[in-house]
Each structure stands twice: as C-alpha cells, then as structure tokens.
C-alpha cells in the first residue's frame, strides 16, 4: 500500500496541500524553526558575552597603554619632576641651634580637562605591578579607558574626597578584585610631582572595616542611588580630612549594587624628585 500522496492534485491550492499534510509534519516544521531561532539567539548572546568579557578588555588594555605613554610624556616635560640642584650642606655651627628643617613638599595644582589622564593608581593588594591611569570624568566614555575621577570631587591629597570609579567586569576590569581589599591596605596615587599614600579605613588587626574612630566604614555595599559615599566626607558633611573612595559594581557581572572602598590620606605627600622609586607603601 502506497504512502500518503503529497503531490499536488488538479484544482488544489497550496493551502489545500498544507491541510492534507500529517499533523506531525507540521509540528516538526514548527519545532525546527523554533530550534533554529533559539540557536541564533544563543549565538548572538555568546558573541555578546565574548565581546563584553574579552574584546572590551583588549580595547581597554590598548587604551591604557596609550594613556600611560601620554601621561609619561606629559610628566617628562614637566619641570616639577626633575630633582632640584643639590646645594652643598654647610657644616653645623656649634654656636647656633639645629639647622631649620627643609620646607615640606607642596604638590603642584592639577588642572585637567575631561577625558585627560592626570594620575596613576597603584594598589599593591591586587598585584605587585597593579597600576592604572586615571582619567578625568566618570561617564561611560571615560570608564571605557580605565578608572575615572568623579567630577567636582577633591584632587589627590586635597581636603575632601578624591573619588574614582571603575568597571568590575569588562572594559579592562580595573576593579575586578576590589573585594579583596583589607583595612590598612595602602592605595598609592601618583601624580606629575608627588606620591600620595592612602590607607583603607578599619582595624588592620581584626579586619573590621567598621572600627575606624571616624565612623566611616572602610567597605560598603550600597544602592546605586546612594551618592553620599562620594561626599566631601564619605557619608555626608563638610570636609573633615583627605579621603579616597573607590566605587565599582556589585556583585560581579551585575550592576544592582555598588561596592565602595574608603581610605584616608596617610602622612604628607612625597616628592617624586626626592623619591623617584615611590614610597615604601608600594611594596604592600
């Protein structure tokens, strides 16, 4: 006995032929089309993930290399980086008191345009050679290049809050492991003529981020709308010291919350002319 005849019959339309097809054939056709659609969607999603996690990292790494070259060229042209000529040290006069201490180093003012590099961030906890060029501005355009300085917050070493944002995943992932920071960890900021050492707030002995006498926690998890973390004094209020705040998305692969690290300036700025290799804190 022959199978079902699916050939066109005289006077039949395509719709008539389709209606005579077994229901199973129609279901298989629908399933095949749905499967192909899902495969296409999956491939698009996979390509997007590859772009977000790897391609943007490569692009950001290239941008960082270019920024590093640019900022080093700028600094090499700056007269503040060269060491001053050494004057002969006079012999002590026993009839006069101890010689006056040399004047404290005064960092040059920083004048920078949006999108331009002006400092380098060093975080020994994240790796011995961790360094990222900071650009002015914290919009998506700037953060595609690396960490960005929030406009209208303090500059390095100034009273107030030097606040810096960075991506957690993708775009170079500069703050991927920011959750590894511990109380007392140094964060070193390098500018054209100075080194600034900040220390993460909290108790280094116990690891308690909330133990700082200022009441400012060394680490917070907040909603994106909680912008008082970058106030002149973190949490709100007028400047009460020189702080540094790092912000990034939390948890990894999500933007639902923000991970915040607060640090305070530890000691006076150091002259790069007198300390070309950087402060001891760079060793961790």
Bridge partners (DSSP) listed for residue 121: 132, 189
Cα separation, 20 vs 202, whole angstroms: 77
Judge whether 171 and 51 are in contact, CB under 8 Å: no
Torsion angle defined by CA atoms of residues 197, 68, 250 and 236, in that order, rounded to the nearest 10 degrees: 50
Please indicate whether residue 167 is annotated as part of the active site.
yes
Neighbour-count burial for 187-224, b at 16+ CB within 10 Å, e otherwise: bbbbbbbbbbbbbbbbeeeeeebebbeeebbbbbeeee
Q: Which of 167, 168, 199, 262 is catalytic?
A: 167
CB contact burial 253-274 (16+ within 10 A = b; e otherwise): eeeeebbbbbbbbbeebbbbee
Q: Which of 168, 171, 199, 258 is catalytic?
A: 258
Nearest to 154 by CA among 145, 144, 163, 167: 163
Are residues 233 and 241 in contact, defined by beta-carbon separation less than 8 angstroms?
Answer: yes
Question: Does residue 249 have an active-site annotation?
Answer: yes
Query: Known catalytic residue: 23?
Result: no
Say which of 122, 132, 219, 249 is annotated catalytic. Answer: 249
Question: Active-site residues: which are they?
Answer: 167, 249, 258
């Amino acid at each position: 006995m022959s199978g079902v005849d699916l050939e066109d019959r005289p006077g039949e339309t395509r719709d008539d032929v389709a209606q005579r097809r077994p229901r199973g054939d129609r279901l298989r056709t629908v399933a095949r089309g749905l499967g192909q659609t899902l495969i296409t969607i999956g491939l698009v999603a996979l390509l997007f993930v590859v772009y977000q996690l790897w391609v943007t990292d490569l692009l950001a790494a290239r941008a960082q290399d270019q920024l590093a070259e640019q900022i080093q060229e700028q600094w090499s042209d700056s007269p503040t980086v060269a060491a001053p000529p050494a004057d002969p040290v006079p012999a002590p006069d026993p009839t006069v008191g101890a010689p006056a201490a040399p004047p404290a180093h005064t960092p040059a003012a920083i004048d920078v345009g949006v999108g331009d590099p002006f400092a380098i961030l060093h975080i020994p906890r994240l790796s011995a050679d961790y360094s990222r060029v900071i650009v002015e501005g914290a919009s998506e355009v700037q953060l595609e290049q690396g960490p960005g300085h929030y406009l209208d917050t303090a500059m390095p070493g100034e009273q107030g809050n030097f606040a810096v944002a960075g991506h957690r995943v993708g775009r170079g992932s500069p703050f991927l492991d920011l959750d590894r920071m511990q109380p007392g960890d140094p964060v070193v900021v390098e500018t054209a003529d100075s080194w600034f050492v900040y220390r993460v707030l909290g108790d280094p002995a116990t690891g308690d981020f909330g133990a700082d006498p200022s009441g400012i926690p060394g680490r917070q998890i907040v909603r994106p709308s909680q912008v008082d973390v970058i106030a002149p004094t973190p949490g709100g209020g007028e400047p009460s010291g020189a702080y540094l705040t790092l912000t990034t998305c939390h948890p990894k692969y999500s933007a639902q919350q923000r991970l915040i690290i607060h640090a305070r300036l530890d000691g006076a700025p150091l002259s790069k002319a007198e300390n070309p290799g950087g402060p001891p804190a760079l060793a961790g």
